[in-house]
């Protein structure tokens, strides 16, 4: 089975990111050997880094904070560059994954 990197670009949306990451933890198929979470923070000034730190005990998260806000397009490129997976799933920080989502992706 190949590794999937779930890539999440974010900027000043800590509460949305918290919900997104929490929805990932509810997935019935969440194996850290096959699932990597990448978060690229576009120089947020809210509690984004705190949200990531709180979720690191539940998820294998690779986190990077940009030195400045580069805009959405470059932040997307940066989060994809962080990925180690064979496949990349780009997810918005305000998206919620259904509990069966990762399992269905692996089936494909």
Would you state the pLDDT for residue 18? 97
Tokens of 108: 């494909």
- The pTM of the full predicted model, rounded to 2 decimals, is 0.94
pLDDT in tens, 1-40: 579 999 999 999 999 999 999 999 998 777 878 899 999 9
Phi, psi angle pair for 79, to nearest 5°: -70, -35
Mean pLDDT (whole number) for 34-48: 96
- For the cut 60, the answer to whether the pLDDT of residue 68 exceeds it is yes
- For the cut 90, the answer to whether the pLDDT of residue 52 exceeds it is yes
Query: Residue 108 and residue 104: Cα distance in Å, rounded?
Result: 6
Mean pLDDT (whole number) for 96-108: 90
């Amino acid at each position: 089975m190949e590794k999937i990197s779930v890539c999440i670009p974010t900027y000043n949306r800590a509460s949305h990111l918290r919900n997104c990451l929490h929805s990932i933890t509810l997935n019935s198929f969440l194996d850290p050997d096959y699932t990597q979470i990448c978060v690229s923070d576009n120089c947020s000034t809210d509690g984004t880094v705190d949200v990531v730190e709180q979720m690191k005990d539940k998820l294998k998260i690779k986190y990077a904070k940009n030195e400045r806000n580069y805009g959405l397009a470059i932040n997307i490129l940066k989060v994809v560059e962080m990925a180690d997976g064979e496949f990349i799933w780009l997810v918005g920080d305000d998206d919620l994954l259904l509990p069966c989502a990762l399992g269905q992706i692996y089936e494909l």
